[in-house]
Amino acid sequence: MAREAVIVGVGDVLLESGKVVGGGSVLQVQARAAKAALDDARISMGDVDGLLVAGMWGVPGPGQLPTVTLGEYLGIHPRFADSTNIGGSAFEAHVAHAAMAIERGYCDVALIVYGSTQKSERSRTLGGRPSILTMQFENIWGIPQPVGGYALAAMRHMHEFGTTQEQLAEIAVATRKWASLNPAATKRDLITIEDVMRSLPVSDPLKLLDCCLVTDGAGAVVMTSAENAKAHGSRPIHVRGFGEAHTHWSIAAMPDLARHTAAAMSGKAAFEMAGIGHDAIDLVECYDSFTITVLMTLEALGFCKRGEGGAFVAGQRTAPGGAFPMNTNGGGLSYCHPGMYGIFLLVEAVRQLRGEAGERQVAGVKTALVHGTGGTLSSGSTVILANH
């Protein structure tokens, strides 16, 4: 048996009103998150020999080669690099890639990093993607990006299955309840289904409170071999299974607008590798760029049948105290969403598995499923983590 790869450190930076406390460039905030994760792992920067980075910063320019630029900035010379960018799900894929690299001996300590200062820079808009190549057939119609693509999916899901806007709102309300328990969350005031229904219409049927926040943020994850973790005295979280897939970027090329095909593929692969069933999952951290993202992901991962996501999330099932704890840090909807959110799903899952989540700690978490979605329901990557 080859070496086993484990997660040994997580880190992030504090936000105030969605902005990084103390400010900083996008390189500074990534360095701070990386240092926090390495301190958590009791491993020094100089031991990092694998670097995995995806981002939207510095393009065109130094961000075109993000691992190369960040490696230089951190003062390290990695012998394994991965800048796979499949959207906000990239970081779950990075865990999979780092696990394979560590198991095969391509690196000993892998550092996965993400950072964005989009809120401070006010760089986020609903338009502005260049109308070149595949986007010459999409961008010209004035589709608000990325919400418009998710809105098209939501409309189709409602048409095929009778899913309601109130059912989508259940997700936003439940996620806000978790955020109210997280001192680091950006939005902590409780909301009602009526608040969601009455919030600003953005792209029918999605309204402002169906949409994730726009914030800064930075996070990092450190992985190493189980034996190295033991040598450093750090507490390992085991990677039991993973899978990834992508199907399209242009929304018109999505195989079925009412089905998150990439998540179905990645979830199936992760469950098969882990060799466990859905009833073994104690906690789900599910990418929530929009409420519809969550609903379609839960169906695709097989937690409920196709078309039954609306009924599944009804009655605040995913809220604190509910039968299906999910997005316990407050998610992209209420904690933070700095453009690509997937790293924070991992950070929260690890904290829950270690029992470090404070007031929002879910009792008895042994196995957690983390699922990232990127692009416009384009990519899915699933990781199953366990503390035993």
Partner 1 sequence: MGAQMTDTEYTKPLPVIDPGSKPFWDAAREHRLLIPRCNACGKFHFYPREFCPHCYSGDLEWTEASGNGEIYSFTIARMPAGPVFAPDVPYVIAMVALDEGPRMLSNLVVTDVEAVRIGDRVAVHFDDVTADVTLPKFKVIAAL
Segment lying near partner 1 (by CB under 8 A), choices 15-23, 38-46, 57-65, 135-143: 135-143
Q: Among 1, 133, 323, 363, which residue sits at the site for partner 1 (rule: CB under 8 A)?
A: 133
Q: How far is the CB of 56 from partner 1 (least distance, A)?
A: 17
- Tokens representing 315 are 């009655």
Q: Are 343 and 221 in contact (CB under 8 A)?
A: yes
Query: Among residues 37 and 143, whose Cβ is nearest to partner 1?
Result: 143
The whole-angstrom separation of Cα 236 and Cα 252 is: 42
Query: Among residues 86 and 206, whose Cβ is nearest to partner 1?
Result: 206
Q: Which of residues 173-202 bind partner 1 (CB under 8 A)?
A: 200-202
Element (H, E) at 349: helix 342-354
Please name the residues in contact with 163: beta carbons below 8 A apart, sequence gap of 6 or more: 154, 157, 295, 307, 309, 310
- Give the interface size with partner 1 as a residue count (CB under 8 A): 38
For the purposes of burial, counting CB atoms within 10 Å of the CB of 197, is it exposed (0-12), middle (13-18) or buried (19 or more)?
A: middle
Q: Among 151, 196, 340, 357, which residue sits at the site for partner 1 (rule: CB under 8 A)?
A: 151
Q: How far is the CB of 320 from partner 1 (least distance, A)?
A: 32
257 binds partner 1 (CB under 8 A): yes
Q: How far is the CB of 119 from partner 1 (least distance, A)?
A: 18
65 closest CA partner among 45, 51, 44, 79: 51
Q: Among 67, 83, 85, 145, which residue sits at the site for partner 1 (rule: CB under 8 A)?
A: 145
Q: Among 122, 141, 277, 359, which residue sits at the site for partner 1 (rule: CB under 8 A)?
A: 141
Strand partners, 110: 50, 223
Which residue is listed with tokens 């466990």? 276
Task: Count the residues in the chain.
Answer: 388
Residues in the site for partner 1, rule: CB under 8 A?
125-128, 130-134, 136-145, 148, 151-153, 155-156, 159, 200-206, 250-253, 257
